A and B are shown apart, each in its own frame.
Chain A
Amino acid sequence: KAGVTQTPRYLIKTRGQQVTLSCSPISGHRSVSWYQQTPGQGLQFLFEYFSETQRNKGNFPGRFSGRQFSNSRSEMNVSTLELGDSALYLCASSWRGQEADGYTFGSGTRLTVV
C-alpha cells in the first residue's frame, strides 16, 4: 500500500514569488491536512480538506491556500513568499479526518525562501 506522497521534496524560491506543493494521499483516504514545521514554532496546522471542501483552518494568513481534487489529491499554494515561510511542509491523510482516525504523514517538502 503506497504511503502519502509529497512533491517536490525540496524547493528554493525567492521572496515575493509563489509556490505550489502537491500531496497524494493513501488510496481510500478522503481527508488531507497540511502542517508547517519550523524549529521555532514546531508543527502547526494549516488547513484540512475533505471531499474537495476546506473543513478546518489554522491561524495562518490568507497567503496560504489550498485545494483538493476529486481524486483526493491536494495542493497547497503560498503567494508572495516571505523569508519566514521557510519550513518543512507536511501533508497528512486520514480516512475521514475524524477524532478517532489516525493520520499518516508524507516525508514533506522542504521550502527555502531566499
Chain B
Amino acid sequence: QKEVEQDPGPLSVPEGAIVSLNCTYSNSAFQYFMWYRQYSRKGPELLMYTYSSGNKEDGRFTAQVDKSSKYISLFIRDSQPSDSATYLCAINDYKLSFGAGTTVTVRA
C-alpha cells in the first residue's frame, strides 16, 4: 500500500470555481503535510504546509488535515487560469512521500 493516495484526475473547472483536491494517507503517525504545485517543465513549488490536524489558509488557498480519517485536502477559491497545474500532496517523514498528483485545468 502506498503511503499517500491521490486521485490523478484530471480535473477541469471554469474560472472562478472552487477546486477541491484530496489525499488519503496510511500511517496515523504522520504529522507534517504539504501541498506542492508543479507547472509543466518545472520543479514542484511548496504551496501549503500543515502540522497535525486543522485548517490553514493563505489567500485563496486552504489546506485541511483530518487525522481521525487520515485525509488531507486543498481548496482553491476563485480559481484562475494561472492555477492550471499539477497539485501534489506529500507527507514529510524525514523524506517526502508524494501522492500521484492531480492535474487541474481552469478554463477561462
Interface residues on B, range: 20 to 34
CB of A56 within 8 A of CB of B95, answer: yes
CB of A43 within 8 A of CB of B88, answer: yes
Docked Cα-Cα span, A104 to B46, in Å, equals: 7
CB of A42 within 8 A of CB of B98, answer: yes
Instruction: Write the A5-27 contact mask toward B (1 if CB under 8 angstroms, else 0).
Output: 00000000000000000000000
Once A35-B96, A97-B94 are accepted as A-B contacts, the answer to whether A103 and B101 lie under 8 Å apart by CB is no
Q: How many residues on A have C-beta within 8 angstroms of the other chain's C-beta atoms?
A: 24
Pick from B31, B43, B97 the residue with the most CB of A within 10 Å. B43
Pick from A43, A44, A98, A104 the residue with the most CB of B within 10 Å. A43
A residues near B (Cβ < 8 Å) are: 4, 33, 35, 42-45, 48, 56, 58, 90, 92, 97-108
